[in-house]
Chains A and B, each alone.
Chain A
Amino acid sequence: MSMAHKPRFLIAALVFYAAVEGFSRIGLLNGYFMVIINESLIYVILAVSLNLINGITGQFSLGHMGFAAVGAYTSGAITTIAFRLSPDRPLDYSIFVLSLVAGGLLAALVGFLIGFPSLRLKGDYLGIVTLGFGEIIRTALNNMDFVGGPRGLLGIPKFSSFTLIFAAALISVIIIRNLVESSHGRAMLAVRENELAAELVGIDTTKYKVLAFSTGAFFAGIAGGLLAHLLQMAHPSQFGFMGSVLILIMVYAGGIGSLSGSILAAFVLTFLSQGLLLGIDALANATGLSIGSEWRMVIYSVLLILLMLFKTEGLMGTREFRLLRIPEEEK
């Protein structure tokens, strides 16, 4: 709605795109950097979509990577089969986009099913059930031979470019932002603040919880598809409990309920994680000691604990970047 009036966010996003694309063309950003930026953007989609479930609607999902797995395997399988059917003809991007949407839709269906326990369960219990669903998806993938089983799905064509990933992330953020700012989003916030009161003022809480789960799952499925076509593989171990926890950390570190926080945290934590890896390598080379890469995760987890202890509300709290806000007079 407001995008037509003052597309500040769109302009800022396009400036970012032009800068990254430009720097990469003239060689200021090497391939390694581009991979990190691409991963950050995929994590933006994952974190923002999880924030819709956990932050905006106040449900508690611990199995977000399970949805991403559904998307990754579905779209990966579609393009791989299409590639095998016509190995001579170069594939066009429409198949890729279709496969992404198919992955997203299947993930949304799974999210719809997982949304149902949320009608009876709250808080920790719901978290554990979603964790269980995530683990069941991972176990199932490990045992499905036609998608590689424990070897993973290999040989996925490389389709995910910076431009495509960027476009997907931008569209996801705008759709979720507009959803949050719409009357549906207000209803979701009401469910978070007080479910009983929301029901008493006539909000169909069941509908909004299931809507949050299936929308969040849809975008997670898209992100999974992008990841599979970036890494050219999908493996059950990518989509386990730890993967879901990393997304959850982004949502909480950024600030629960703040989409800007999720975007910021997705970039900060992805870069931090790579930066720690490089730092440890450099330290090991400089001192000649053998320092295991596990120290990266040790530092990462200590930072997480310190963040929770000293800045419990996350980096952004519930605030949003001004760019992402829809000004009052335009609503």
Chain B
Amino acid sequence: MSYIFNVQQIVNGLQLGSIYALIALGYTMVYGIVRLINFAHGDFYMLGAYAAYGAFYLFNSFISVKSGAFAFLILLAAMAAGGGIALLTNRFAYRPLRYKPKLSALITAIGVSMFLEYFFSALPMIGPSPRAFPEILPKKLYHIGGAAGAEISNYVIIDISVAAVLMTGLTLLIQKTALGKAMRAVSEDKDAARLMGIDIEKVIAWTFLIGGAFAGAAGLLAGLTYPRIQPYMGMMPGLKAFIAAVLGGIGNIPGAVLGAYIMGLAETFASAYNSLLGEGIAFAILILVLIIRPTGILGEKTADKI
């Protein structure tokens, strides 16, 4: 047991959880506001990783020092790509279906996801085969805690702190700004919010932009941590982040973060124990949660309206 539940595994779990958290936030925000499982969200994450890859080689040609500012520019590129594609998807694929049956929007989301994955593998400059993600910052290893301790790289610190900063920013945005207030209002009651003069479509567009940007940032962090990117990379993390959002209570922002860290830790521990368990644990957790407590850990129970 001791070598499964050791410090190293906890660190790895938190690192994976940070990436899941950034993806799960977008899922949960979009679900909270438009009640749509955005299947293409995992592909926004993939686009973020490719945008970071492209930005690295673009900037690398005229900036030679790999500094923090250099990495920050790449982060911005990844977030812009994720947010931009999310905005476009919302405008052209989801908005026309807003008042149509919900499941047709879901099928459209699956269509968008397929389109992004196959389009990127069909593009000659990207292609279906995996690519090695560059070292954006020089990797350093620190050893902590003596003999039973763990190796921690600066990437772990970057992953966790980028996620923490973005999540704090989001919390402030939602709690303190007018836009955040509008978002909360729309997710509470769309019609009442419209009657109060809130431009619903604008709020939805902002939600997609922020959610997509977070997924883009997660793509960069994933590329940095697991340096192999490919056009289909978004599918599984997307699903798992979605499950994390359900686990925490979909539509609930602290819930998504909590669910993502539980998921990251559970997956890391389970993989250390047995690889089959590692692959299946996410779905096993999901099924248990939905059978025992379908609203998730932090979700509120709602009664069916008749």
**Contact in complex: B122, A124 (CB < 8 Å):** no
The complex places the Cα of A292 from the Cα of B118 at a distance, in Å, of 10
**A295-307 vs B, Cβ < 8 Å mask (1 yes, 0 no):** 1011011101100
Residue of A60, A241, A249, A294 touching B118 (CB-CB under 8 A):
A294
Residue of A143, A301, A304, A308 touching B276 (CB-CB under 8 A):
A143
* B170 interfacial contact with A, CB 8 Å: no
* B306 interfacial contact with A, CB 8 Å: yes
Chain B proximity of A239: nearest CB distance (Å): 15
**Contact in complex: B118, A120 (CB < 8 Å):** no
**B34-50 vs A, Cβ < 8 Å mask (1 yes, 0 no):** 01010000000000000
* B202 interfacial contact with A, CB 8 Å: no
For A298, list chain B residues within 8 Å (CB).
115, 118-119, 122
The complex places the Cα of A297 from the Cα of B115 at a distance, in Å, of 7
**Contact in complex: A128, B243 (CB < 8 Å):** yes
The size of the chain B interface, using a CB distance under 8 A, is 44
The complex places the Cα of A131 from the Cα of B238 at a distance, in Å, of 13
The complex places the Cα of A128 from the Cα of B122 at a distance, in Å, of 29
**Contact in complex: A139, B279 (CB < 8 Å):** yes
**Contact in complex: A305, B121 (CB < 8 Å):** no
**Contact in complex: B290, A312 (CB < 8 Å):** no
**Which stretch of B6-14, B69-77, B103-111 is in the interface?**
B103-111
Most central of B100, B107, B294 by chain A CB within 10 Å = B107
**Contact in complex: A292, B306 (CB < 8 Å):** no
**Contact in complex: A117, B290 (CB < 8 Å):** yes
**Contact in complex: B294, A135 (CB < 8 Å):** no
**Contact in complex: B294, A128 (CB < 8 Å):** no
For B243, list chain A residues within 8 Å (CB).
128, 132
The complex places the Cα of A123 from the Cα of B112 at a distance, in Å, of 20
* A245 interfacial contact with B, CB 8 Å: yes
Within B49-71, the residues touching A (CB, 8 Å) are: none
Residue of B37, B93, B122, B276 touching A139 (CB-CB under 8 A):
B276
* A264 interfacial contact with B, CB 8 Å: no
**Contact in complex: A309, B93 (CB < 8 Å):** yes
* B102 interfacial contact with A, CB 8 Å: yes
**B269-306 vs A, Cβ < 8 Å mask (1 yes, 0 no):** 00000001001101110110011001000000000101
Chain A proximity of B44: nearest CB distance (Å): 16
The complex places the Cα of A188 from the Cα of B102 at a distance, in Å, of 20
Residues of chain A at the chain B interface (Cβ within 8 Å): 60, 117, 120-121, 123-125, 127-129, 131-133, 135-136, 139-140, 142-143, 196, 241, 245, 248-249, 252, 256, 290, 292, 294-295, 297-298, 300-302, 304-305, 308-309, 312
Residues of chain B at the chain A interface (Cβ within 8 Å): 35, 37, 93, 96-97, 100-108, 110-112, 114-115, 118-119, 121-122, 124, 127-128, 235, 239, 242-243, 246, 276, 279-280, 282-284, 286-287, 290-291, 294, 304, 306
